[in-house]
Homo-oligomer: A and B are copies of this chain.
Amino acid sequence: MIKADTLIIGGGPAGILAGLANKKLSPKSKILLVKNEKGIIIRCSEPYAIAGKVRLSQIVHPDEKMLQKNGISFLVDEITGFVNFPQKRIATTKKGKKIEFKNLVLATGAKPFIPPILGIENAKNVFTLRDAGDVKKISKAAKKARKVVIIGGGAIGIEVASLLREKGKSVAILEVASQLMPGAYDIGLANKVKEILEKKGIKVKLGIQVKEIKKKMVVTSRGNIGFDLVICSCGVRANVELAQKLDCRLGKFGILVNQFCQTSQKGIWAIGDCAQAKSFITKKPIPSQLATTAVLMGKIAGMNIAGKKEKLEGVLNPAVSCFFDYAVGRVGLTEKEAKNEKISVKVASAQSTNQYPSQMSAKPLEIKLVFNQKNSRLIGAQVFGGKKDVGMRINLLSLAISQRLTAEKLSKLNYCAHPEETPLPFAEPMIMAAEQVVDVLRHREV
């Protein structure tokens, strides 16, 4: 029998950060992390590995450095169940080990959602993308493939599509919704992305249903499309099987947790992709299977196990995606989401350049801000620009939302300007959009 103060199931960012945060506050605590695979893969880099831009070995970090060196023991094994829970607190593993624990952290992650498509399970050269094994298989198939079909026009689908298009492949994206990245972006920005993808030669088919996958042929509601490689990128679903064995209550998007990342069972936490997040704004459950959410939840759980009552007030799902030379980002509510929530909004958009327009490399930069009409607070933002123009603006706007900043306050941000780093001093689109809402300045041409 192995004994642990805290057993962490899962070695993704949530599990690791829970261990680190807990160890820091409780240096004497015995922490055991059980993970299915050797090595820590950086999932957001997987598209780059598939396209051969980075080697798989570069995006898999050794467990020892992150875990053992920081005082966290780990086992590469799989938790299969529990012995006589809740009378006892003992987990069993595939390799036949038994682990007695006081605290349990479920960081079991998520698995790709496979839509109900005839023949998808057994089709050759049809893959989902999640772990290192998937990367290997897809990379190998991609090398030989000429025709690539991506099922799902979400962030990952778009990134994989653009990276493989850059390698000269013929690429089609099939999205069942009427816009790319539905749920994350409003249609205006989504269509802008679509235009660029199409200009670069990617076929983007919206409102299309995939009915069947045959040998080398995808059968859709609008005809057949030949393929050498299909990547099915339709989002993920929380892994809740172990939570179910523990009778933890579930929500729509994963294991139900409170602000402390505690499940309905005493002494059991759930964090990362397997746990259900809550919107910072609406306080309702939302899917939030992002590495940065996992990191936040991991820290919260780790600190709480150590007795520090840290709270997660909710998430804003700040995210950025890159395709070709462009990037898009989003945070908070879209205009559509806000309307669905019956929030009256004021929306403002502003266009500018990412550098002073006199710089040779200046590119367009566009921002849409969503404000709550009632109190003028920022509740959502979408940004389109070049690489490096988007992520940090999203982070700034995320901070603004979390601080409940009004348009007026945002319009008075004390920012900096530089020819190579920012728009002109009076042309930062975040500020211009905020000003539109406070109705202070007339539209200025630059």
Given the complex, which residues of B lie within 8 Å of A322, measured CB to CB? Answer: 418-421
**What number of copies of this chain does the assembly contain?**
2
Q: Mark A375-410, 1 if CB is under 8 A from B, else 0.
A: 000000000000111111111101110110100000
> Are B358 and A23 closer than 8 Å at their CB atoms?
no
Q: Is A318 located at the chain interface by the 8 A CB criterion?
A: yes
Interface residue total, chain A, C-beta cutoff 8 A: 86
Given the complex, which residues of B lie within 8 Å of A329, measured CB to CB? Answer: 416
> Are A394 and B416 closer than 8 Å at their CB atoms?
yes
- Could you say which of B414, B420, B439 contacts A296, with CB atoms under 8 Å apart? B414
Q: Smallest distance from the beta carbon of A323 to chain B beta carbons, Å?
A: 10
- State which of A208-216, A221-229, A422-430 sits at the interface with chain B: A422-430
> Are B387 and A420 closer than 8 Å at their CB atoms?
yes
Give the docked Cα–Cα distance between A426 and B20 (Å): 11
Q: Is A65 located at the chain interface by the 8 A CB criterion?
A: yes
Q: Smallest distance from the beta carbon of A153 to chain B beta carbons, Å?
A: 18
Given the complex, which residues of B lie within 8 Å of A20, measured CB to CB? Answer: 441-442, 444
> Are A395 and B415 closer than 8 Å at their CB atoms?
yes
Given the complex, which residues of B lie within 8 Å of A299, measured CB to CB? Answer: 412, 440-441
Give the docked Cα–Cα distance between A348 and B391 (Å): 23
Q: Is A151 located at the chain interface by the 8 A CB criterion?
A: no
CB-nearest residue of chain B relative to A44? B419
A45, A358, A389, A440: residue with the most chain B Cβ atoms closer than 10 Å: A358
CB-nearest residue of chain B relative to A413? B399
- State which of A139-147, A287-295, A339-347 sits at the interface with chain B: A287-295
A25, A310, A394, A399: residue with the most chain B Cβ atoms closer than 10 Å: A399
> Are B321 and A418 closer than 8 Å at their CB atoms?
yes
CB-nearest residue of chain B relative to A441? B24
26 contacts between A and B (CB under 8 A): A20-B444, A24-B440, A42-B419, A44-B356, A45-B356, A48-B419, A54-B358, A54-B360, A70-B442, A292-B416, A292-B417, A295-B425, A299-B440, A320-B421, A320-B422, A322-B419, A327-B420, A329-B416, A389-B392, A391-B418, A392-B395, A392-B396, A392-B421, A396-B399, A398-B413, A399-B413
